[in-house]
């Protein structure tokens, strides 16, 4: 019997009804990880002993008749920028290579409370800066659909592990598209929640006004289950929203009659390939068949999103990453007689990769005396214009439908020499972060055997409508039932 094909929902139900133990599930996933990980390289750290110990403890609770929670016994992978107490958390950076956090992130506490088994820490672009996972200081992750291609990024380990069935669920983080773009490249479902819906406590910060943690899964239902687990108020994050949580699973009722879908034409230009536009338009037609209505909308300032983002995100990063200075965390590089500034500068030059240093310098310049108004303040105002564009669009519609990424996954190495070309991979996702809105990417077809994603963008805190529309679409199509050759081969 194979459990790796089951959804998290099905797994939890099997465990609950005692048809299988948490330990058996953990063992099978660990074996599968061993079988495919040499090819995929999704994990920075696999935790076989911890996972088995945890599964055994959960099994004892099941045996004594306890309800171990909605994720009881389900293996989950966690992006390696979420702090795990006593477990190395690297951010895929040399500067944190041996960092062992003394506390758990809020979302990790939530996973544990709901019965999940954390099976490993997932690879990413260093400090979440990148769109391909090639910026990991350790190794690139490979796309399970074509091992010569990138999985996307920065949460490339999170999406590759789910696509390769190494885990049924994972957590990623999304600052400019880092959940949705790799979800599209790997044929997964990925959600970037409303800014403030999920606590960032224990998330190693990149750009604090944009970062959000979100779920990655193979089905919309599983993504909703994981969102329900991690969402909600936490007083340790002062930007956390304190409102009652809806029941996201209850939203998946299949009924999208009369739902107004806005199609912003600006998102179908800007270097988006024709095959992506075609696939997304066919997906929108499918939503209409299911009862939705199309509304044409316009977002004239969306095209400024990328430029504003590359001021705001590096500025906040330059401040957040100032703490890695050779004093409190891991790496220190100094020679005898170095003063403290020399120690700081050598440590940071040795510990940060090129892209991280590049962005720190952009941000340092943008925030420096004499430039703040021209750059950071200007970009924060542009955010307001983008937000107002969305608000105007949402007067006419309930959900916006766009491509998630302008292309399918590109070959490893193709764009690493041109960081600017790489940045264009996030052109459709960045405006959403700038406005703080929720969005989901759901598989909408294949081009030359590589998956593509439909992005649905929602109103503030209206994750329920997004999930309902994405679920109705998914259930009316067959895309989510496709498997990468790598997984099929093992099954045969």
In 193-258, beta strands by DSSP E:
212-217
Using the rule CB under 8 A, is 308 a contact of other proteins? yes
- 464 carries an active-site annotation: no
3-state secondary structure of 140: coil
State how far the alpha carbon of 74 is from the alpha carbons of 18, 24, 199, 307, 309, in Å: 14, 11, 22, 41, 36
127 sits near other proteins (criterion: CB under 8 A): no
Two tokens, residue 225: 């289950």
d(CA 152, CA 445): 17
What is the dihedral angle through the alpha carbons of 169, 172, 178, 184, rounded to the nearest 10 degrees? Answer: 0
Find the shortest distance in angstroms from Cβ 385 to other proteins. 6
Smallest separation, CB 223 to other proteins (Å): 21
CB 414, min distance to other proteins, A: 18
**CA 347 to CA 326: how far, in whole Å?**
6
Q: Judged by CB under 8 A, does residue 319 bind other proteins?
A: no
Site for other proteins contains 464 (CB under 8 A): no
How far apart are the C-alpha atoms of 207 and 317, rounded to whole Å?
5
The least distance separating other proteins from the CB of residue 384, rounded to whole angstroms, comes to: 5
Binding residue (CB under 8 A) for other proteins from 1, 38, 64, 235 = 235
Active-site residue, from 178, 240, 441, 464: 178
134 is a contact residue toward other proteins (CB under 8 A): no
Residue 232, CB-side half-sphere exposure with 13 Å CA sphere? 15
Answer yes or no: are the C-beta atoms of 475 and 221 closer than 8 Å: no
DSSP label of 448: T
Among 35, 246, 419, 446, binds other proteins (CB under 8 A): 419
Applying CB under 8 A, which part among 26-34, 237-245, 395-403, 449-457 lies near other proteins? 237-245
Site string for other proteins, 77-96 (x = CB under 8 A): --------------------
The Cα-based distances of 323 to 221, 330, 348 in angstroms read 39, 12, 10
- Paired strand residues for 400: 262, 457
Stretch that binds other proteins, among 61-69, 126-134, 215-223, 372-380 (CB under 8 A): 372-380
Torsion of CA 43, 321, 314, 160, to 10 degrees: 10
362 near other proteins, judged by CB under 8 A: yes
Say how many Å lie between the first and final Cα of the chain, rounded: 13
Residue numbers 283-302 binding other proteins by CB under 8 A:
301
Question: Which token pair is 4?
Answer: 């790796």
Q: Which of residues 430-449 bind other proteins (CB under 8 A)?
A: 434-437
Q: According to the binding rule CB under 8 A, does residue 195 interact with other proteins?
A: yes
* 16, 61, 286, 378: residue in contact with other proteins (rule CB under 8 A): 378
Say whether 170 is catalytic.
Answer: no
* Distance in Å, CB of 341 to other proteins, minimum: 7
Nearest residue to 462 (alpha-carbon basis) of 280, 193, 76, 219: 193
**HSE (CB half, 13 Å, CA atoms) of 237?**
27
List 21, 41, 79, 131, catalytic entry? 79
Residues forming the active site:
79, 154, 178
Contacts with other proteins by CB under 8 A lie at: 98-100, 102-103, 194-196, 209, 235, 238-239, 241, 301, 304, 307-308, 310-311, 318, 322, 325-332, 334, 338-346, 348-349, 352, 357-358, 360-362, 364-365, 368, 375, 377-385, 387, 419-420, 434-437, 460-461
């Amino acid at each position: 019997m194979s459990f790796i094909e089951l959804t998290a929902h099905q797994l939890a139900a099997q465990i609950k009804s005692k048809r299988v133990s948490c330990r058996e599930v953990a063992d099978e996933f660990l074996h599968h990880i061993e079988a495919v990980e040499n090819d995929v390289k999704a994990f920075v750290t696999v935790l076989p002993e911890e996972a088995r110990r945890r599964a055994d403890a959960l099994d004892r609770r099941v045996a004594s008749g306890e309800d171990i929670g909605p994720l009881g016994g389900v293996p989950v992978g966690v992006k390696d920028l979420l702090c795990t107490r006593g477990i190395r958390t690297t951010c895929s950076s040399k500067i944190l290579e041996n960092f062992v956090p003394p506390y758990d992130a809020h979302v990790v506490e939530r996973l544990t409370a709901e019965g999940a088994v954390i099976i490993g820490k997932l690879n990413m672009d260093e400090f979440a800066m990148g769109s391909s996972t090639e910026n990991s200081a350790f190794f690139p992750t490979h796309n399970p659909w074509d091992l010569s291609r990138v999985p996307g990024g920065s949460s490339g380990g999170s999406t590759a592990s789910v696509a390769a069935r190494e885990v049924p669920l994972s957590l990623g983080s999304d600052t400019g598209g880092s959940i949705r773009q790799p979800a599209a490249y790997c044929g997964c479902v990925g959600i970037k929640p409303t800014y403030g819906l999920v606590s960032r406590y224990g998330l190693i910060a990149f750009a604090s006004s944009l970062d959000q943690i979100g779920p990655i899964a193979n089905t919309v239902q599983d993504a909703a289950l994981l969102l329900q687990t991690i969402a909600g108020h936490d007083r340790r994050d002062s930007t956390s929203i304190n409102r009652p949580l809806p029941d996201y699973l209850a939203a998946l009722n299949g009924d999208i009659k009369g739902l107004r879908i806005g199609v912003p034409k600006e998102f179908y230009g800007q270097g988006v390939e024709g095959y992506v536009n075609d696939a997304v338009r066919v997906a929108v037609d499918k939503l209409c068949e299911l009862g939705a209505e199309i509304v044409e909308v316009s977002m004239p300032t969306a095209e400024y999103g990328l430029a504003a983002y590359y001021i705001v995100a590096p500025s906040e990063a330059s401040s957040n990453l100032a703490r890695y200075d050779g004093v409190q965390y891991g790496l220190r590089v100094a020679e005898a007689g170095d003063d403290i500034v020399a120690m700081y500068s050598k440590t940071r030059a040795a510990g940060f990769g090129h892209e991280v240093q590049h962005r720190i310098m952009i941000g340092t310049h943008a925030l420096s005396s004499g430039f703040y108004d021209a750059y950071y303040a200007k970009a924060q105002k542009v955010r307001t214009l983008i937000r107002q564009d969305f608000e105007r669009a949402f007067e006419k519609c309930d959900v916006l439908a766009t491509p998630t990424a302008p292309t399918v996954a590109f070959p490893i190495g193709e764009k690493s020499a041109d960081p600017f070309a790489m940045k264009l991979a996030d052109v459709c996702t960045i405006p959403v972060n700038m406005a703080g809105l929720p969005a989901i990417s759901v598989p909408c077809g294949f081009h030359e055997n590589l998956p593509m994603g439909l992005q649905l963008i929602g109103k503030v805190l209206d994750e329920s409508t997004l999930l309902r529309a994405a679920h109705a679409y998914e259930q009316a199509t067959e895309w989510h039932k496709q498997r990468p050759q790598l997984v099929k081969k093992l099954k045969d």
